[in-house]
Structure 1
Amino acid sequence: MRNSNIEEVQEIETNESKEEEKTQNEAEDVKTIPPWPRQITIRGVIASIAIGIMYSVIVMKLNLTTGLVPNLNVSAALIAFVFIKTWTLLLEKAGIVCTPFTPQENTVIQTCAVACYSIAVGGGFGSYLFALSRKTYEQAGVNMEGNAPGSTKEPGIGWITGFLSVSSFVGLLALVPLRKIMILDYKLTYPSGTATAVLINGFHTPKGDKAAKKQVHGFMKYFSFSFFWALFQWFYSGGEKCGFSQFPTFGIKAWKDSFYFDFSLTYIGAGMICSHLVNFSLLLGAVLSWGIMWPLMKELKGEWYPGSLPESSMKSLNGYKVFVSIALILGDGLYHFLKILYFTGSNMYAKATNKKLKTFPDDSVQTFNDHRRKEVFLRDSIPVWVAITGYIFFSIVSIIVIPIMFSEVKWYYIVVAYTLAPSLSFCNAYGAGLTDMNMAYNYGKVALFLLAAMAGKNDGVVAGLVGCGLIKSIVSISSDLMHDFKTGHLTLTSPRSMLLSQAIGTALGCIVAPITFYMFYKAFDLANPNGEYKVPYAIIYRNMAILGVEGFSALPQHCLQLCYGFFSFAIVANLLRDLTLEKFGKWIPLPMVMAVPFLVGAYFAIDMCVGSLIVFVWHYLNREKAGLMVPAVASGLICGEGLWILPSSILALAKIHPPICMSFFSSSKS
């Protein structure tokens, strides 16, 4: 008994000494936190520009091909670490002393880079902005009711840059006054922001240094492999439907129905980042549409739709593809929209009740780090008057500028949108903090339908699409900023440096994204239903606007019944996932994800599933190593092939074409 008591006392003393040592280490770490102006460095801005440009090119390709872009925040934090560590290592070898690389600088770089490429993701290049183009107007049907002849505006760097500039900065300021409530009072988790913070803090600890070196090595290895593989493939793609990207993996017949593996390391990497459920849902959607529905509906040509029309016509097979996709997206979106509103309302009520009962955790039970995080978060506060004045200023600029750009958009539409935007932004940011789901596109669709109906037949399409862009931009950027504030809170980064870096990144994105898009616009055949760059969401958004103007009269025969069925399927699938046991619910597919291959094809779903299979096997063989290396390997695969897009676009603009066309045909033709 005596020996056991001695052991207990020794154990208690050991634990106390460990806690004391940990507190001392934390106190030492706190002393090294640079003041907020020094958290934004010249090398950090250069790194942010480089990462932002590279990722803008990558996500622009994903936007214009499938419209499915994975969350790349963690990847951006990793590449920021790789960039600065390589920078400091080279300077040290040259005998130049560098300032230490801190978690705060890493956070600021990641925030700035993400803000930059987020404009390419949410700027509407693959959806509402390109839906205004002449090509999308023709795809929707020149003679279709509601598709007014003058409802187009061709893409141009000038007006797109202006539109993004006046609409994006409003979102930065909408929720700044509420940051303390969201982060400290409600203690919202913001899972993506928290995951990024954990990664950054792990990089900058002695224990994490060894793991970080492994990740850097893995990233560079697969980055190089991906880049040179893309270069190798380019030589064999000298013509339409040529190269490895058209490899008939499962035979010629399956290839004609878009079932083949196209050797895209970008989508394999994206599949490694996305969950197994996302990839499974993509494959299920591909099998259901291109494996079953579309081949059967081709047999009904002349019965359900005129046989004289081409398949690309909205009155033909393409109409079913587009509107069934819309039904799935709207059903899924409406369910989650109502769910988040209910979840947000009930949680806010619970928090308000708890606040009255004074059940928020008391400071006395918080750790030293909790105290310090709160102190840093509140010390460098952002004056409320700055946020309000900035919001009003950019709103006035938008009210003046946007009606000049688009005569169909009346100034009072914008006043209504910007009056509602802060409350919508709060609902979205609160829901994202609880669920990690950014529902901005749903708020944008609500604005699209309302403004399209209000503006009428002649102006409705343009007014709806522009209004959708305004609301979606504000609501999305506000939510992203709260994610970044959460990351900054956990890495002891000043809110002022976070907001300034976000503003720098947004300004950079408003310049980089239109230039990147215009490069694709000039170098490739966008919105070609048979090409690589299908821009699937552009036609979806335009048809939503037409639907808002004309109602259901524009749909081809029996299409409405199919839409009802798939809309109901989306609602039921979500209900089953939420109401059944987790072990069953985790296998129920995601309707919104299923909708993507309905339009795009099955090939990229196969690539994504290959990525998922790699992760599954890797976790089975070595779970610990897989958990460490999967993000690095996936980032390398995405970035390597993504970087090749830049020189390949320049070659295309210079009229330099690949020298070889590798194509495949059946043995009967030979």
Structure 2
Amino acid sequence: MTKTMIIRHRLTYATGTATAHLINSFHTPQGVQQASFYFNFSATYVGVGMICPTVVSISMLAGSILSSGILLPYIESKKGVWYNSEYKESSMMGIYGYKVLISIAMMLGDGLFQLLLIPFKAMRNLRRKQQQLAAATNAFRSVDAIRRTVLSFDDRRRTHIFLKDNIPLSYAILGYTILAIISTIAIPHIYCQIKYQHIIVAYIFAPLLAFCNAYGTGITDLNLYNQYAKIVIMIFGFWITAAKGGVIGGLVICVIMTLIISTAGDFMQDLKTGYLTLTSPRSMFLAQAIGTTIGCIINPILFWVFYHCYLHDSTGSYPAPFARVYRIIAVVGAGGFVELPKYSIAISIPIFFLAIATSAIREVAIHKNWRIQHYIPSVAAISVAFLIHPTTSIDMCIGSLILLAWNKVDAEDANLLASVVASGLICGEGIFAIPDSLMGIYNVTPPMCIRFLASDVNEKVDAFLAKQAH
């Protein structure tokens, strides 16, 4: 995954890239002054749009138009016919079920194609390496460094260090296998609803989903492990069945696969940061292992504090609304796919194959250097747009437009400072999350609230305020 996504595909991983630029800026002449200057922005996705390729932002906007403007309004017009009109918008048995299944179908289609493409690219690169290795004298030579002769000295240096200190594949396979064996033996003794075959199947398919999620994170900067988790709950809940504890079993398997899937996306962000800052991947992995060990001690303590000190319902200080959502999904999954809204599976299947076809056409166009390659959208970016609010896509497009305009006006300054500005936009809002959380814990309300309303809602508010004045 590291060689494929960071070296070969050179995926953005906007958060990891932003972190790396922020770190690098403090270790370069006048870098400290530049990073302070750009640290107070708060439009995260504008910054992401400045880092991500323009095709990603445009693809997400196209996905938002397709979902919120065309497909979902049509499905909503079938309310009461295809699905029960009494279900809330966030219910998997309502319109949200269509959104999740369509998005996952597209993600899986694109991710599966990219995964199957790796062996073919590896064989092609191996042939090229055999042909060019004898003539190569560059000290930083590698498969991709030889192929990409236009790489700068810095990029070749990063590639050399990244590949030199990489984690051997045999270690990864051995470690994963040992952990899978331990889980297969231990977890069924803890949860009687789960059998050995459930754990084995989970560990077989988890790498596939982890690859899909890490690939999507690389191009959109969004870790959507929770969307995969919803499908995992339903599949294993249906397999175990409600009579044999499918609700609890589905949730437990969901936790196992979610940890694998989410960690893949997060760790690839960190490795991207390490790649750009000339940090050894082994050092990054060791830091992750230490952090995980500490988390195994701290997290249970925090859970104990929250569990014993706060209410556990929707009226408490920490209602944990997603706990209720996941439980509902588990109940639906244990009842079988018949609980899903009508035609949701039928719609998702052709979209899955359409995603594979689109990814294949895009790969061929890039390989053949066709002009159409710049106009073929990213399937993963489109799929993300089904799960987020359209404003996110608009913000990213604004960031891309700012970068395009900046390049038109002053390309040299844009190349030098665009990443710094984007890093400030992303990191600035991230830093503010700490005081924002503290204000929430201590129930501090802001002295002023600014809200944008639709015209009809605004008229109702004005009428209400006028009535209060009398």
Q: TM-score, normalised by structure 1?
A: 0.49
1:304 and 1:381, CA in 2 relative to 1: closer, same or farther beyond 3 A? Answer: closer
Which amino acid is 2:59 matched to? S
Match of 1:75 in 2: 18
Counterpart of 2:431 in 1: which secondary structure? helix
For 1:396-475, list aligned pairs within 5 A.
397-399=182-184, 402-403=187-188, 406-415=191-200, 417=202, 420=204, 424=207, 451-452=236-237, 454-458=239-243, 459-460=245-246, 462-464=248-250, 466-467=252-253, 469-471=255-257, 473-474=259-260
Distance 2:353 2:172 in 1: 42
Provide closer, same or farther for how the CA distance between residues 618 and 217 of structure 1 changes in structure 2, counting only shifts above 3 A.
farther
- Find the counterpart in structure 2 of residue 584 from structure 1: 372
For 1:217, the equivalent position in structure 2 comes to: 33
Unaligned stretches of 5+ in structure 2?
1-11, 143-156, 463-470
Structure 1 unaligned spans of 5+? 1-68, 86-202, 204-208, 227-264, 528-534
- 1:324 and 1:563 in contact (8 A); partners too: no
- Show the counterpart of 2:133: 361
Task: Trace 1:299-338 onto structure 2 (pairs within 5 A).
Answer: 299-315=77-93, 319-338=94-113
RMSD over equivalenced CA pairs, Å = 5.1
Question: How far did residue 607 of structure 1 move?
Answer: 1.8
Change in Cα spacing, 1:295 to 1:367, as seen in structure 2 (3 Å) is: closer
Segment drifting more, 345-354 vs 645-654? 345-354
CA distance in 2, matches of 1:590, 1:611: 18
Aligned to 2:47: 269
1:629, distance to aligned residue in structure 2 (A): 1.4
Q: 1:488 Cα deviation (Å)?
A: 6.9
Query: What pairs up with 1:68-217 in 2 under 5 angstroms?
Result: 71-82=14-25, 85=26, 209-210=28-29, 213-214=30-31, 216-217=32-33
* Partner residue in 1 for 2:341: 556
Q: Secondary structure at the match of 1:224?
A: coil
382, 386, 409: which one pairs with 1:621? 409
Render the CA deviation track for 1:224-268: whole Å, top value 9, x for unaligned. Answer: 343xxxxxxxxxxxxxxxxxxxxxxxxxxxxxxxxxxxxxx1222
Please state how far the C-alpha of 1:321 moved relative to its aligned partner: 3.5
**C-alpha distance 437-557 of structure 1, shift in aligned 2 (>3 A):** closer
Amino acid at match of 2:289: A
Which SS does the other structure have where 1:630 is aligned? Answer: helix
Secondary structure, counterpart of 1:367 in structure 2: coil
Q: Work out which of the two has the higher radius of gyration on C-alpha atoms and give 1 or 2.
A: 1
- Deviations for 1:293-335, whole angstroms, at most 9, x for unmatched residues? 44455554444444555544444xxx23332442242234234
Q: Deviations for 1:176-232, whole angstroms, at most 9, x for unmatched residues?
A: xxxxxxxxxxxxxxxxxxxxxxxxxxx6xxxxx44xx35x43432232343xxxxxx
Could you say which residue in structure 2 is the equivalent of 1:279? 57
- Paired with 2:272 and 2:13, the residues of 1 have a C-alpha distance of 20
User: Shift in Å at residue 337 of structure 1?
Assistant: 0.8
Aligned pair 1:594/2:368, yes or no? no
Pick the aligned partner of 2:118 from 344, 369, 373: 344
| 1:603 counterpart = 2:391 | yes
**Post-superposition shift, 1:601?**
2.6
Taking structure 2 as the reference length, the TM-score comes to 0.66
Rate the CA distance shift 1:643–1:650 in 2: closer, same or farther, 3 A.
same
- What's 1:660 paired with? 448
SS at match of 1:223: coil
Contact 1:328 1:570 in 2 (8 A): no
* Closer, same or farther: CA 614–413 of 1 in aligned 2, 3 Å: same
Question: Counterpart of 2:133 in 1: which secondary structure?
Answer: coil
Could you give the per-residue CA deviations for residues 487-517 of structure 1, whole angstroms, max 9, x where no partner exists?
Answer: 879987666544423323444566788969x
Q: CA deviation at 1:469?
A: 4.8
The answer on whether the counterparts of 1:286 and 1:597 sit within 8 Å (CA) in structure 2 is yes
In 2, Cα distance between equivalents of 1:540 and 1:504: 30
Alignment CA distance shift 1:654-1:347 (3 Å): same
AA aligned to 2:358 is A
> 1:475 & 1:481 partners in 2: Cα distance?
10
Amino acid at match of 2:409: L
1:630 corresponds to which letter in structure 2? A
